[in-house]
Chains A and B, each alone.
Chain A
Amino acid sequence: MAVGDAGVANASPPVARVRRRRAPSSAIAFLSIAAALVAAAICVGPALAVLISAVTGARPAFEAFQQGLFLDSAAGTIVLVTLGAGAATLLGATAALLVTLMRFPGRSVFEWLLVAPLAAPAYALAYSYSSLTWAGGPVPAPLTGFVGAAFVYAVGFFPYVYLATRAALVAQSPSALGAARTLGAAPLRATLRIALPLARPGVAAGAALVAMEVAADYGAAVHFGVPTIATGIFRARGPFQDALLGNQMAAVLLIAALVFLWLERAARGRRKFVARDAHARPAEPFRAPWYAAGLATLFCAALVLFGALLPMSWLARLAMLNSNADLASLLRPLTNSVALAAIGAAATLALAILIARAARAGAVGRFAALFAASGYAAPGVVIALGALSVYGLARSLGWVGGLAAPAALLLLVWAYAARFTAPGAQPIEAGMARVTPGIAGAARTLGASAARRLWRIDLPLAGPSFVAAAIIVFVEILKELPATLLLRPLSFDTLAVRAHTYAADERMVEAAAPALLLTLVGLVPIVMLTRRLDRAAGAAR
């Protein structure tokens, strides 16, 4: 999986994947592994709490499989993951192939503009599209139910696949593709026969990320009235007054995510045949006939239009209708959002670095990393409830007091870290892979201490991917809704919370401004990140 490791993740020589650094036996190394395991335990905590309460309830867990609510919800999630992630994958991979391999008008702008939809939370897209297409609305498209949700996921999440695929293409395809073309293969044939297979791991990684996003999404699914496990958990806990069933459904989702992640990693582990010669130059994008170039421009423009431009300008129009607009009242939520996302990203990053180190150290570490990553597929509310139940345990034991501002914020940051370790750790792992055994070994041989190696070698080499990880987690936290809603302290609203409370009551005119502001705040770092990575990739050429 690779969101932000474009140009970095796969630039590592293949040796790093084949042979792992042997764990040094010094006390510091031991401590760093121990710290990593503690970090993983911290990240796993909330999910584990949910799993445990799912299997220790009054009813055996398998009975959940006989409940109509569970079956409907699971079927809905499967349909949506297939439709939404399938469409997002198709769109994202196609866009990546076009942008990387073909020359067409606007290509250099689309290269980074195609990432813009990442800044918009799925629920904001859902609000906007449903108010564009609702009964009697300006666009008479029936964007409802499964179709509506799958559409929003496709146009909102395709950038994950786009980024990962492009990273794979930029890093790996040039020489093989160049050879194929030198040997006279037509561009289309070369793309299908050479570029696509080489990009497959990237496509798969992006698809896995989208699948987890779709499975975890609550806001858009509930807005379109689609039964999914994420919305079913709410139904079980609310109307059915059956918290145990809710926990069991959450556990199923978590376990499915674990299996999924494990499969994805296993598939990635075999990707050893791809080699990149550090001196190879990426193949020049080919010149396409005018109609093909025109189609490519149209395709990319449509993606940007539907993923960002149209829904956001509609929100802007709605926001301007609001006669009671009080932009000043959004200042506090804005600063809260940014501060919370920054603190959350810092904490998540610290834990993710420790976990990524553990993942490089051996099987135990890899398993811990896998488990820690499963939180990403869990709806935010599941993780938040897990964190809350651990707090409840500590409170009932008299270890902690009330859930006032510092404690509530700490709990919230914990939930963020538990949920977003995966998108944080992935780029970091990829970046750390650049510290090859050769480099590390040389430093050790020359007598550099572990701390010195971390400072002088690991950080400079892997630094850029740390920045990428930080930005991605920052934006994810900015968009996060259910955990924030449940765990935040009194008198503490974020933009996401503001947008939601209005939209949940169908007051789109009032919801529009915070939703739009939230997207704009996320857009800045996302675009900066992509442009920076593009420059890095360009420099590598």
Chain B
Amino acid sequence: MPLRPSRRLVLAAAAFGALAACTQRAPSDAAGVAQDADARHVNVYTTRHYGSDQAVYRRFTEETGIEVRVLEIGGAELFDRLQTEGDQTAADLIVTVDGGALWRLAEAGMLQPLSTPALQAAAPARFRDPDNRWWAFAKRARVIVYNKESVDPVILRSMDDLAQARFRGQVCARSSANTYNLSMLAARIERAGADNARDWARGVVENFARQPQGADTEQIRAVAAGQCQVAISNHYYLLRLQNSDDPADREVASKVGVFIPDQDGAGAHVNISGAGVSAYSPRVAQATRLLEFLLSPESQSLFANLTNEFPVRPDVELTPGLAALGRFHEEQIPFEALGRRQAEAARIYEEVGWR
């Protein structure tokens, strides 16, 4: 291919180099965006695509008259888009899943510190950024799903079990590219060190019944079908199958049990959904109102009922499905560690061959 380096090309290269430099600068000098206090709408960029969220936004509009305009987008794309839009972004409230993702947004200067008495009262200290740039509004646990027929749950204690030789050829898990698995390992690195994490991941890979495929629901199906005896999943996937319109799904759900691991040890791995107000929002007042609304008892129970996520507020009653899982002991690491350790976790997974 005859690509002669011309002057134009060099110029263009320089321009893009400059662009890279510009976009990587953290836009922390966020203040000074003119505010539109009377705006009757608020723009939300979100990586969540749940009916519960649409229900919450609808309720918010009914209550406040403020229209919620939504852009649903993938996690990586959310970051790209916000970074490129910079101070011109249309986003007022940014909603995402995963403590690591929230940390990354905050670190890049895309969220502004913000605190109100309502927020303070709603979210326990662990479930918000120490600098108040993001606030968690729902949480999910990573649990062990087992085949009720072949596995007696009394032999289960910890996520560590899945790396032990007695589960050789019996474990299913989804791809390591997935945030839930990345954050689970990142948390382990934070709590027990990289060597422990590597040994554990290697042990699980040795125990795989099959190569990772599909998402968490597919692992549950595989357990129900007897292709594996145990699998790793977020807790709400099983609840979703129990409530599914497809009778085949409900059949699957009836064949598997849930075990919340590490109750006499480090605690079960928990991740969060959270939101923060864009550093460049021209509608901070409206965005703050919506953020407060996400943490209101009403919204919290919508999340619990429709998405089967655990509320962050301790004063919200659990749905029967969630109550059956019970209140449990959670792994106590700062959520920012999920972001800081993510690349390291990705490299460990790659090293041990967890695809």
Contact = CB atoms under 8 A, between A and B. Distances in A.
B263 interface: no
B62 to A, nearest CB: 18
B74 interface: yes
A373 interface: no
Interface stretch (B153-161, B210-218, B310-318, B321-329): B210-218
Contacts of B39: none
Given A130-B214, A395-B84, A485-B73, 20 more contacts: A52-B16, A68-B351, A72-B350, A135-B224, A136-B248, A223-B214, A225-B175, A225-B211, A227-B355, A235-B346, A238-B179, A322-B245, A381-B77, A389-B16, A389-B19, A486-B74, A489-B71, A491-B70, A497-B72, A505-B49
A505 B355 CA distance: 19
B163 interface: no
B205 to A, nearest CB: 14
Contacts of B121: none
Interface in B302-355: 342-343, 345-347, 350-351, 355
A485 to B, nearest CB: 6
A485 B77 contact: yes
B279 interface: no
A506 B217 contact: yes
Contact of B177 (A48, A238, A255, A404): A238
A493 B46 CA distance: 13
B252 interface: yes
A321 B246 contact: yes
A324 B23 CA distance: 43
B346 A240 contact: yes
A388 interface: yes
B208 to A, nearest CB: 12
A506 B222 CA distance: 14
A289 to B, nearest CB: 44
Contacts of A505: 49, 215
A396 interface: yes
A395 B85 contact: yes
Nearest to B2: A367
A130 B214 CA distance: 8
Contacts of A506: 214-218, 237
A273 to B, nearest CB: 28
11 contacts: A53-B16, A56-B20, A68-B351, A134-B214, A225-B214, A385-B80, A395-B86, A485-B74, A489-B71, A490-B90, A501-B49
B244 interface: yes
A401 B88 contact: yes
A235 B343 CA distance: 10
A136 B252 contact: yes
Given A323-B245, A403-B81, A393 B49 contact: no
A56 B17 contact: yes
Given A234-B76, A259-B1, A389 B214 contact: no
Interface residues of B, number: 69
Given A393-B16, A489-B71, A402 B88 contact: yes
Given A68-B350, A231-B177, A509 B76 contact: no
Contact of B221 (A57, A135, A395): A135
B69 interface: yes
B71 A509 contact: no
A522 B72 CA distance: 24
Which 5 A-B residue pairs are closest in the complex by CB-CB distance? A136-B225, A402-B88, A239-B346, A135-B222, A501-B49
A277 interface: no
A234 B227 CA distance: 29
B123 to A, nearest CB: 25
A490 B70 contact: yes
Contacts of B174: 225
A391 B343 contact: no
Contact of A490 (B17, B51, B69, B86): B69
Contacts of A501: 49, 72
A175 interface: no
B89 to A, nearest CB: 7
A234 B186 CA distance: 19
B71 A491 contact: yes
Contacts of B343: 239-242
B168 to A, nearest CB: 19
A75 to B, nearest CB: 12
B75 interface: yes
A69 interface: yes
Given A145-B213, A322-B245, A389-B19, A239 B84 contact: no
A239 B177 contact: yes
Contact of A144 (B20, B176, B213): B213
Given A485-B74, A509-B244, A509-B245, A392 B213 contact: no
B342 A239 contact: yes
Contact of A393 (B15, B345, B346): B15
A300 B346 CA distance: 45
Contacts of B22: 392, 396
A318 B245 CA distance: 9
A448 to B, nearest CB: 37
Contacts of B84: 388-389, 391-392, 395, 403
Interface in B79-98: 80-81, 83-86, 88-90
B12 interface: yes
B120 to A, nearest CB: 30
Contacts of A486: 73-74, 77, 80-81
A402 B89 contact: yes
B26 interface: no
A223 B174 CA distance: 11
Contacts of B75: 238
A119 B222 CA distance: 31
Contacts of B218: 130, 134-135, 506
B222 A240 contact: no
Contact of A395 (B20, B88, B345): B88
Contact of A491 (B49, B69, B211): B69
B182 interface: yes
Contacts of B43: 490
Contacts of B248: 136-137
Contacts of A224: 213
B96 to A, nearest CB: 13
A237 interface: yes
Best-buried of B17, B175, B214, B355 by chain A (most CB within 10 Å): B214
Contacts of A322: 245
A235 B177 contact: yes
Given A389-B16, A486-B73, A490-B43, A135 B81 contact: no
A110 interface: no
Contacts of A402: 85, 88-90
